[in-house]
Structure 1
Amino acid sequence: TNGRAKKLKMNIYKTKAVLFRSKNKSVVLNQPLMLNSTPIAVVSSFKVLGVVFQKTLSWDKHIDSVATKLSQIVGIVYRNRNILPQNIIILIYNSLFSSRLNYCHLVWASTTKANLHKIHVLQKRFLRVLENIPSYFHTHELFVKYNVLPIHKMYDYRLSKAFKKEVKTKSSFLKGLANLRSNTTAYTTRHSEPWNVSTYRTIYGQDKLKNKLPRLLNRLAADNVKLLEITFKALRCYFSPQSTFLM
């Protein structure tokens, strides 16, 4: 309807369909999908605006796509490590490597630990190239030295930042999407959590914003981090590798 109103035309030959389902369920089409009498191909995954969506609602293929591009960047830097100054390599990380991680991060970064590990390995490899050290050297101090946020901390940081911005601008997109509700209990205890967290038994449920956002806000509250008062710089420090930050 919106497409017709704006006179947008769909390219039938480039149009694909993805039937989303959980891994343990199957979807059977009794007849082909048609668009203007032309059959539409049903595919298992499809890239939309740089993000790969899979029919099983997992992010494996998107992570593999991102990891491939990041690996190419690491390879180029490695081959030219002896001629590139450190400041240029850092610039490459921020402009090419990090930008890949930031793109639509809140969409896909709630993926499995195994997928995040693939990205983390490439982060560590890049830092070793930056310092021109062997592959067996530990990298924790390098994350601290160059103020690089490990991939497994990025989702919570970016979600905290997005929620803080939303509250500041009096918007309610994330709050509505997560169905965020404060806890209303008859008795308030020292360790009571301010936000209600629903219980999910499946991985899909645990990855939902309805689960992620209230759990994150409760953890920040437990650490005495006042999200509405803390500066963005201090929030970044809270999630940094060396952080023992309390506020």
Structure 2
Amino acid sequence: MKIDENFGWTKHIDYVSNKLRILLCKFYQLSFKIPKDVLKCIYLALVDSIVSYALDCYGLSFKTHIDKIEALQIRFLKLLVDKKTQRKCQNDYSQLFKILKVLPVSLKHKYLLAMNNHGSTEHITQHQHGIGTRMVTQGKYEIPRVNNFYGGRTLTKQLPKLLNDLPTEIRDETNKARFSRLLKKHLLSKI
């Protein structure tokens, strides 16, 4: 991981982007030689692992930085589908994520955040007061107030916000494998 003196993630995101660009060249050459299903396995093994490494940390970075990686991700996904599907998705390449059942970086970050904190109550607190409000009856979590932009990107703010946005049946799921499946399906439906 690359971290600068301001504890920013710009250097790391640039490092990941450069690695992906180098890999994209090799991937393009492979796309003419091997079947698409094998190419998808290579994508999941190489590209997805590079993107996912430390994503729960650098994923809280600015959206413009994350969009760099997402744009590269789309270039990879265009190689995983046939020309007909590419033409069909030409106006909106984000549909490729749904077709290939691959999460974009921005949603993959949310997925990893929820999975890594599944069953943990370290960064979240339930609404606790004597009044029977809708938040208490729906099992929602308390989102702390913040004073600046940095506070809005912290885990203690983002995790309860993410969990509150999930449907109740996903949020209350105790089985981690089932939680993973339901969460991925829910996030793919948001594309």
Superposed counterparts of 1:1-247, under 5 Å: 51-131=1-81, 133=83, 137=90, 138-164=92-118, 167=119, 172=120, 175-176=121-122, 178=123, 180-191=124-135, 194-220=140-166, 223-229=167-173, 231=178, 232-240=180-188, 242-243=189-190
More RCO (CA 8 Å, sep 6+): 2
Change in CA separation of 1:126 and 1:226 when aligned onto 2, cut-off 3 Å: closer
Q: Match of 1:11?
A: none
Deviation digits for residues 90-127 of structure 1 (CA, Å, limit 9, x no counterpart): 11210000001111221111111001100110111011
Residues 81 and 132 in structure 1, CA contact (< 8 A), matched pair in contact too: no
Gaps of 5+ in 2: none
Q: Distance in 2 between matches of 1:195 and 1:227?
A: 10
Moved over 3 A (4+): 132-136
* Contact map agreement 2:127 2:135 (CA 8 A) in 1: no
Identity %: 25
How high is the TM-score relative to the length of structure 1? 0.66
C-alpha displacement of 1:243: 4.7
- Give how far 1:210 is off: 1.1
| C-alpha distance in 1 between matches for 2:101 and 2:170 | 23
Alignment deviations for residues 37-88 of structure 1 (CA, whole Å, 9 cap, x no partner): xxxxxxxxxxxxxx11122122111000001111111111113322122122
Larger radius of gyration: 1
- Greater share of residues in helix: 2
Q: How many residues align?
A: 181
Deviation at 1:191, TM superposition (A): 4.8
